[in-house]
Amino acid sequence: MLLFPSIRNRAADFFMELDIEKMKFSIGERYWLANKFDYDYEGKTYEERMAWKAEEDKDWIPPIIGPEKPQILINPPNKEFYGLNEQEAQKMAEEAKSLLMNDWKEHEKRY
């Protein structure tokens, strides 16, 4: 089939355009292939791959799962807040509540 110039040229163009780097396995794919005990992936034994995987796992940080119910994260009050009298503190708390609710209402309008 490669005797025909048109087919030979197309095959040559195809192979010239191949990007080997894009065809290589990503670190995630390599990680999951390491578990295959019935095939010596990368020419390594199962034990060698498990040692590599354990090394990869060493720096892994488990994801933080958020709370099931929505919560608002607010920084703790500073010294000045505790220096306010009750009326001033109440006014500041109401202003914060108003800002949060206004933001929530704007979000509802957009979505």
Task: Give CA 100 to chain center in angstroms.
Answer: 28
pLDDT tens string 46-104: 899 999 999 989 888 877 776 677 667 777 778 888 899 999 989 988 998 998 898 88
Structure tokens at 91: 């006014």
Is 96 in contact with 90 (CB distance < 8 Å)? no
Our CA dihedral for 82, 86, 88, 89, rounded to 10 degrees, sits at: 50
Tokens 């095939």 correspond to: 39
pTM: 0.40
pLDDT tens string 7-35: 888 888 888 888 888 888 888 888 888 88
Is 92 in contact with 73 (CB distance < 8 Å)? no
Q: DSSP labels for 67-88?
A: PSS-----PPP-HHHHTS-HHH
